[in-house]
Structure 1
């Protein structure tokens, strides 16, 4: 993706795109020469080496305290099973605990009837051996988990992919800037400002698995394919044309 702006001085401050990671460089321009601003994105695909999913337990009981006690006991079993599968504690994080009133909704037009409380406890889990993900999902369900969401895939250390994408983006930006310079009678370009944004995305879009399982459900290990994930770098570069 490329966005292009050509203008004369004065040079406005170049704002970076919203980023998880950003770098910026600026140089004072000379008077009189036109300026071209380019925004170029390059994406490098790679096989993921980590997967993240959410799992947890939803429990129901006539009172809030009973629902919480039941949920805590069931969730403790699920977390112990996750740890027993070889996942480190630092790769398990509680993402939400929710207590809500529970109602029964009839089909005859009557008002909903209060029947008790429900408690949900959810953890996010990072798996560093993707080939074991299906078996892990099966195992946590067999131990009482009745909520599953995910997985999302990523590359744990994508610094090499970032460098490759950055190099491609800068080369394409310079080639395009030179093309503009030659078209208006200049012979070279000088970088005045650079900013960068990096992000990760799946080329397959944002598909997500969500499962609500009954407590007595015993799942077959689901097949899991990691596919590829993209590491994208967007460089915003301002060039001044030179002779």
Structure 2
């Protein structure tokens, strides 16, 4: 099975209210004798979308080491032994210590359950979860193989992303603004009105890395 590196998609959804110059003067509403309140000019609410695809330049692997034993001390000791082997394997694979982060360590009692009987303690389970950042995509496969061989028995997933998505985000914003301006001009021409300017502008969406899809 081969895996394809799917491009990252970045979406910036921009919503703007463009003020249209009214064909007739703005209507005035009398509130009290001698006092007039001007109605706000009509507005056009539109949204546009910008999307940029960029090849990933980094990956993260999340995995865990799970051990079980009759006592909590044994479960923790076995887990620590395996984690030492895993950390050594990561160093041999060229992964820097700063790119390895422990995301959680959990110890829990394990019980067997049978109908009409109280739970029976079976032992204890220790789980240590780690997230590794890989800055060289050519090392993703070898790193995964290395940690599994060293004792990792849970792979939570591999995701791909950008070290710095700001350039792609800005490009998506520019595309969204251009699309918004074009749409506003189209509506203005169809309605035979003139655009007076932008009343407000808001942004939604953002950087959204996607995992690779398997290809057979």
Distance 1:6 1:157 in 2: 31
**Runs (4+) of structure 1 moved beyond 4 Å?**
1-9, 109-112
Distance 1:6 1:89 in 2: 49
Bigger relative contact order (CA 8 A; separation at least 6)? 2
Deviation at 1:7, TM superposition (A): 9.7
Partner of 2:162: 155
Question: How high is the TM-score relative to the length of structure 2?
Answer: 0.74
Partner of 2:6: none
Alpha-carbon RMSD across the aligned residues, in angstroms, is 3.0
| Alignment of 1:59 onto 2:67 | yes
| Alignment of 1:92 onto 2:92 | no
Deviations 1:40-96 (A, max 9, x none): 222211211111111221111111122112111211221222123111222111111
Describe the shift of the 1:51–1:68 C-alpha distance in structure 2 as closer, same or farther (beyond 3 A): same
**1:16-55 alignment runs, 5 A limit:** 32-55=40-63
Aligned pairs, number: 185
Distance 2:133 2:121 in 1: 37
Deviations 1:105-126 (A, max 9, x none): 67xx575532110000010111
Describe the shift of the 1:130–1:56 C-alpha distance in structure 2 as closer, same or farther (beyond 3 A): same
Larger radius of gyration: 2
Deviation at 1:104, TM superposition (A): 3.8
Question: Are the counterparts in 2 of residues 62 and 116 from structure 1 also a CA contact under 8 Å?
Answer: yes
Looking at secondary structure, tell me which structure has more helix per residue.
2
Q: 2:190 aligns with which of 176, 183, 192?
A: 183
Question: Are the counterparts in 1 of residues 104 and 129 from structure 2 also a CA contact under 8 Å?
Answer: yes
| Alignment of 1:195 onto 2:202 | yes
Gaps of 5+ in 2: 1-10, 21-37
Distance 1:78 1:159 in 2: 34
Deviation at 1:3, TM superposition (A): 8.8
Partner of 2:109: 101
Distance 2:160 2:14 in 1: 29
Looking at secondary structure, tell me which structure has more strand per residue.
2
Comparing 81-90 with 32-41, greater Cα deviation is found at 32-41
Describe the shift of the 1:110–1:60 C-alpha distance in structure 2 as closer, same or farther (beyond 3 A): farther
